[in-house]
Amino acid sequence: MSLTDSKRLAAYKAVDTHLNSATRIIGIGSGSTVVFVVERIVQRGNVKKNKLDGKNENSNQVLEELDLAQCVFVPTSFQSRQLIIDNGLNLGEIDQYQEIDITIDGADEVDENLNAIKGGGACHLREKVVAESSKKFIIAADYTKKSTVLGEKWIQGIPIEVIPFCYSLVLNSLRLLGCQNLNLRMGKNKAGPIITDNGNFVIDAYFGKLDGQQFLGSDKFMFINSPSEVLKRIKLLTGVVEVGLFVGMAEIAYFGEDDGHSVSILKK
């Protein structure tokens, strides 16, 4: 199965399993997988016309029609905002809603405890705000994103959003934390660093691969076994706005597998 089909499979499964006629406020993540989340939501807006009869793999479920006119969609980036508008869905802003019913988002890597690395698209600040405001945070991803421990697959480093004038200080502080490889993320077709939707820079911080299984920073700083510790240590650095480590946030993750099946991992 192609990567694109795998993303579509995971996205459709997440939408079909979790969105029903009572769902009203929906967070929309960012990235290429989320395009299929929105595609499926639009299809579910007219179940009969789109001949959706619950042929969802491994299930006889009858897909309920979504009353899209009654739903509001909260974006996590410029990209997802455009996706919402282009599909004629009702746009809401995060500061209007203290509580979101459900958010579906992609991820760059998800470990077996559902901790995730996000921010490959530099959207992790808003993604985290929307996820944290959600009663349910669901991940949909292709098969390349599933791992045992974080860092196994996403080797370009933890995305860290920083205030621009602080970037040099943060680079230095990360070095002192034992970070081995640091990159200020550069724009494509733009001279200089990328600028996030919030006007900030992104640093990708790689803490070094000791062997196939372990990431270590300093001798005391074990990456994989303690993503929450890594998150805390980086978040405390002056100038850091948000870290692309989503620890214990997702309730369930859906993956489109290479063989055309989907699998899900539930929070333990």
Residues annotated catalytic, as ranges: 127
Residue ranges in the chain assigned as alpha helix (H): 3-18, 32-44, 78-86, 124-132, 167-176, 227-235
Closer of 101 and 109 to ligand 5RP (Cβ): 109
Q: In what order do the strands lie in the sheet with 201-206?
A: 181-184, 201-206, 158-162, 240-243
Closer of 63 and 150 to ligand 5RP (Cβ): 150
Q: Which amino acid is at 230?
A: V
Closer of 63 and 124 to ligand 5RP (Cβ): 124
β-bridge mates for residue 117, sequence order = 109, 245
Find the shortest distance in angstroms from Cβ 144 to ligand 5RP: 8
Find the shortest distance in angstroms from Cβ 122 to ligand 5RP: 6
The total of other beta-carbon atoms located within 10 Å of residue 54's CB is: 12
Largest CA distance in the chain: 60
Find the shortest distance in angstroms from Cβ 78 to ligand 5RP: 11
Torsion sign (Cα): 197, 240, 26, 58: positive
Residue 95 buriedness (CB in 10 A; 0-12 / 13-18 / 19+): exposed
DSSP assignment of 198-252 equals: TS-EEEEEE--BSSSS-BBSSTT-BTTT-HHHHHHHHHTSTTEEEESEE-S--SE
Closer of 44 and 118 to ligand 5RP (Cβ): 118
Closer of 4 and 113 to ligand 5RP (Cβ): 4
- The residue with its CB nearest to ligand 5RP is 31
Find the shortest distance in angstroms from Cβ 141 to ligand 5RP: 7
Closer of 173 and 196 to ligand 5RP (Cβ): 196
β-bridge mates for residue 27, sequence order = 74, 103
Q: Are 215 and 157 spatial neighbours (Cβ–Cβ below 8 Å)? A: no
Find the shortest distance in angstroms from Cβ 127 to ligand 5RP: 6
Q: What are the residues binding ligand 5RP (CB under 6 A)?
A: 29-33, 105-108, 118-124, 127
Find the shortest distance in angstroms from Cβ 255 to ligand 5RP: 11
The total of other beta-carbon atoms located within 10 Å of residue 121's CB is: 24
